């Protein structure tokens, strides 16, 4: 008697489910049916095309996912250096990705090799592209020290392949990140069938006069690879028609970049390991647990947890039993990672971050993704009404130390500052350059007088920070003339072109291993103790946890 009854119930359940399915389908709940119009999405006949199968952003090569959150940025202990430049503030960081290790010599050599192949330095037109990207190997020299071995070998010898690259200034670090973005996105487009497998090698072989650029591909795909993009179409090509990926395709990854100071400090603290419900248990002095620099665990007890200078003349310990296994930099992954899986967030080399330095963090203006250094730009539009792509003209800049770097390469989009069209009646920003906002621009200067005639000070000499102004000019023969600022009236080194670097290095005492410590250097300078690592923004959900709590719905 029970079996027929059960069969009837199951049949009813199946019929009910079928009706429910039909109802949901007709009401537009399918991911390929618009909930706005009821039209099909991705229909073969045409219409709106969108990647409705996108799950989440994949982790790009070399990166580790960092889930964002709230933390205390800055120090909560006495400042023995009396800098008072890192007062504790509460900040929130969005989720992002960070390089697992510092950028190594072999990674940077791949970059140099690419530039040399695509822009041969023996061609006078390209000579300064490769030369401008070369690290300064002379940073190893010392007036009273013998370091020629590192000067000649550190960058290129395979013995130092997995050591962090040094001698790279802030500008070179940002340009490496831009190059890395383009190379990774080439691979992504090849994998998804938008490019052929050999497309990325065309520029290397000299078959195209322009290399791939991500922003150009998105804005002017017809100009990519010197106009040869149609012949390099992959399996996505339909009926002899070219198909290009868009941002809505979900294939293009966000750009590699330098991390902001807030992101770097949040990652270095790695408070995730000391969390208890919605609070942190105390504050970590270093990226690892405890108040000491030595390993307290049973395995490796007594070993140093980072590569730093223990004392005067002590860069590694006595021979035969080295404290940290290194006298200069060390191979990446030589020490344990922090709780987020990041290596060398203290010691080895200090690292450039994206921020312009100021002695204060203005949390009254922003406590969300804090960053000082925004210069808002937009794409330039040519006379033909299309996005202007640079072809033969290469834009160079001569830095105050005389080094020449390429600001724009062939195939890149020309960018110009935003103007009144974008800023008029806005409340969130009013100008293109915001590097000195509330701490350096005329309105915040200690000399500012809103009732004075601006023409009285046309050169804006009376400003907050009167840092040295070194100048480099060319004479009529093209020779560089270096004008060193010898003024005795300068009171600071701070301006809009000094950048923050974080973390202690192999040259620093343990005091600088604190993630909150911050120092600065002009963006055109390089040293033997500053390297860098890249970051990437996270698009979409904050968390990658698969078993997420369904918010906004009643629990069953």
Q: What is the pLDDT of residues 288-313, one digit of tens each?
A: 776 777 776 666 666 777 888 888 99
**In contact, 282 and 290? CB cutoff 8 Å:** no
**Higher local confidence (pLDDT), 274 or 505:** 505
Alpha carbon distance 21, 30 (integer Å)? 10
- pLDDT, residue 554, reads 47
Instruction: Yes or no: say if 422 and 378 are a contact pair by the CB < 8 Å rule.
Output: yes
Q: Report the DSSP pairing between strands 480-483 and 377-379.
A: unpaired
Query: Which of the given ranges, 138-147, 297-306, 394-403, 475-484, has the highest pLDDT on average?
Result: 138-147
Q: Are strands 89-93 and 69-73 parallel, antiparallel or unpaired?
A: antiparallel
pLDDT digits (tens, 9 = 90+) for 80-114: 778 888 888 999 999 999 999 999 999 999 999 99
Neighbours of 282 (CB within 10 A): 9
CA distance 201 to 118: 10
Q: Distance of alpha carbon 511 from its chain centroid, rounded?
A: 26
Taking phi over 0 as left and psi of -120 to 50 as alpha, with beta for the rest, 333 belongs to: left
Bridge pairing between strands 395-398 and 404-408: antiparallel
Angle CA(311)–CA(316)–CA(318) in degrees, nearest 5? 95
Name the least confident of 163-167, 294-298, 414-418. 294-298
Domains of the chain, residue spans: 57-376+499-545, 441-495
Q: Which CATH number fits domain 57-376+499-545: 3.90.1580.10, 2.40.30.10, 3.30.1360.30, 3.40.1390.20?
A: 3.90.1580.10
Neighbours of 227 (CB within 10 A): 14
CA 362, 365, 369, 374 dihedral sign is: negative
Residue 24 pLDDT: 46
pLDDT score recorded for residue 555: 45
Instruction: Please give the structure tokens belonging to residue 503.
Output: 């973390």
Residue 481 sits at φ, ψ, to 5 deg, of -115, 115
| Residue scoring higher pLDDT (372 or 484) | 372
How do beta strands 535-537 and 96-99 pair? antiparallel
End-to-end CA separation in angstroms for the chain:
32
Cα 390–Cα 60–Cα 387 angle in degrees, nearest 5: 20
Mean pLDDT of 351-367: 93
Cβ 307 vs Cβ 326: under 8 Å = yes
Output the pTM of the full model.
0.89
Of 334, 330, 333, nearest to 348 by C-alpha is 330
Q: From CA 346, how far away is CA 330, in angstroms rounded?
A: 12
Tokens 């040295």 locate to: 468
Predicted confidence at residue 16, as pLDDT, reads 53
């Amino acid at each position: 008697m029970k079996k027929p009854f059960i069969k009837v119930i199951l049949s009813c359940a199946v019929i009910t489910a079928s009706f429910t399915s039909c109802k949901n389908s007709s009401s537009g709940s399918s991911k390929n049916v618009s909930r706005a119009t009821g039209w099909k999405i991705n229909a073969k006949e045409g219409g709106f095309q969108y990647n409705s199968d996108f799950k989440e952003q994949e982790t790009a090569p070399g990166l580790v996912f960092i889930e964002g959150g709230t933390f205390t940025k800055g120090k909560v202990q006495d400042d023995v250096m009396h800098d008072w430049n890192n007062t504790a503030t509460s900040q929130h960081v969005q989720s992002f990705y960070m390089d697992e290790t510092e950028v190594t010599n072999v990674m940077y050599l791949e970059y140099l090799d690419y530039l040399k192949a695509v822009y041969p330095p023996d061609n006078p037109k390209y000579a300064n592209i490769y030369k401008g990207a070369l690290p300064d190997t002379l940073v190893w020299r010392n007036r009273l020290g013998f370091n020629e071995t590192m000067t000649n070998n550190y960058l290129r010898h395979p013995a130092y392949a997995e050591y962090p690259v040094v001698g790279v200034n802030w500008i070179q670090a940002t340009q490496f990140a831009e190059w890395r973005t383009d190379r990774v996105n080439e691979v992504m487009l090849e994998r998804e069938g938008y490019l052929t497998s050999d497309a990325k090698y065309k520029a290397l072989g000299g078959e195209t006069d322009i290399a791939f650029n991500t922003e150009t591909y998105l804005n002017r795909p017809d100009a990519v690879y010197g106009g040869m993009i149609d012949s390099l179409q992959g399996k996505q090509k339909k009926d002899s028609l070219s198909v290009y990926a868009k941002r809505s395709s979900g294939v293009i990854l966000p750009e590699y970049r330098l991390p902001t100071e807030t992101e770097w400090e949040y990652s270095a603290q790695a408070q995730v390991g000391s969390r208890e419900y919605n609070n942190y248990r105390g504050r970590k002095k270093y990226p690892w647990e405890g108040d000491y620099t030595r390993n307290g665990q049973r395995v490796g007890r007594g070993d140093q947890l980072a590569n730093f200078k223990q004392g005067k003349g002590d860069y590694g310990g006595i021979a035969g039993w080295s404290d940290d296994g290194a006298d200069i930099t060390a191979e990446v992954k030589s020490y344990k990672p922090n709780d987020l899986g990041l290596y060398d967030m203290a010691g080895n080399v200090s690292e450039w971050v994206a921020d312009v330095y100021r002695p204060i963090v203005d949390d009254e203006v922003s406590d969300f993704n804090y960053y000082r250094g925004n210069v808002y730009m937009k794409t330039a539009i040519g006379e033909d009404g299309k996005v202007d792509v640079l072809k033969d003209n290469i834009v160079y800049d001569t830095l105050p130390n005389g080094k020449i770097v390429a600001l724009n390469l062939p195939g890149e989009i020309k960018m110009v500052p935003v103007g009144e069209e974008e800023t008029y009646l806005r409340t969130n920003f009013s100008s293109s350059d915001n590097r000195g906002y509330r701490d350096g621009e005329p309105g915040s200067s200690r000399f500012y007088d809103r009732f004075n005639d601006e023409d009285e000070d046309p050169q804006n000499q009376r400003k907050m920070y009167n840092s040295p102004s070194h100048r480099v000019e060319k004479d009529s023969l093209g020779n560089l003339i270096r004008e060193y600022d010898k003024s005795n009236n300068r009171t600071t080194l701070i301006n809009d072109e000094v950048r923050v670097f974080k973390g202690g290095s192999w040259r620093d005492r343990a005091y600088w291993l604190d993630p909150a410590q911050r120092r600065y250097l002009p963006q055109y300078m390089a040293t033997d103790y500053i390297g860098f690592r890249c970051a990437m923004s996270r698009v979409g959900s904050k968390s990658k946890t698969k078993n997420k709590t369904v918010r906004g719905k009643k629990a069953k």
